Amino acid sequence: MAGSTTDVLEMIIPESQAGIRLDKVLAKLFPAYSRSQLQQWLKEGRIQVDDHLPLLRQAAQGGEIVRVQVPVSDPSEWQAQDLPLKVVYEDEHLIVLDKPTGLVVHPGAGNPDGTLANALLYRFPETTNLPRAGVVHRLDKDTSGLLVVARTAIARQQLIRDLEHHRVIRIYAAIVNGRILAGGRITQPIGRHPRDRLRMAVNE
């Protein structure tokens, strides 16, 4: 019977976050998940700080190692569908896809099929045996760009390690409003917008 698997995400809490409540820090470190979802995982014991189960409202000290066990549904429960899929590179280890805007990456609430993962299972059946159908990172529905997919368990483990240790460089193109007078660089972590939970922002 199909069930679920777990992905383990690991991050180090920056020293700059010392004294801030843990759930707020987690929302900045893992912006792909809502604060309420992270709070629920805290209650369920899916989040460890330095190998201990933290309290919901405890403050971060800075330098701690955070591990989050993210539940992932089994791809064998998903339907393989013959949908358009733009492959820009592939070899025996991985696939690089060009994801268009408007396409959801994984099936979920409100999107049971018609996703990029459904198309992956059809064109690359071997991804059925991998968590998240081999997808090792995500792009939001309204974001276009390149998406890396593992074809083997070994490739998936290596890609996840590379992402965790920031050995993968991501370059984003964005539309800005107003006139930029000079070049600049933003190095602050992003988090969810304090008023619009569907947007991301630099909150510091």
Q: What's domain 87-165's superfamily in CATH?
A: Pseudouridine synthase (3.30.2350.10)
H helical segments located in the chain: 22-29, 35-44, 116-123, 153-164
Spot the catalytic one: 140, 142, 162, 196. 140
Q: What does each C-alpha distance from 89 to 55, 62, 98, 147 come to in angstroms? A: 45, 40, 9, 10
pLDDT tens for the chain, 204 residues long, are 344 566 778 888 998 899 999 988 998 887 667 778 888 899 999 999 998 999 878 999 999 999 998 877 678 889 999 999 999 999 999 999 999 999 988 887 677 899 999 999 999 999 999 988 999 887 888 889 999 999 999 999 899 888 877 788 888 777 777 887 777 777 777 777 777 766 777 766
Q: pTM higher than 0.85, yes or no?
A: no
Got the DSSP string for 130-180?
SGGGGB-S---TT--EEEEEESSHHHHHHHHHHHHTT-S---------S--
Q: Where are the domains of the chain?
A: 6-71, 87-165
Measured between alpha carbons, how far is 29 from 35 in angstroms, rounded to an integer?
Answer: 11
Measured between alpha carbons, how far is 120 from 134 in angstroms, rounded to an integer?
Answer: 9
Q: Which fold has domain 6-71?
A: 3.10.290
To the query of whether residue 140 is one of the catalytic residues in this protein, the response is yes
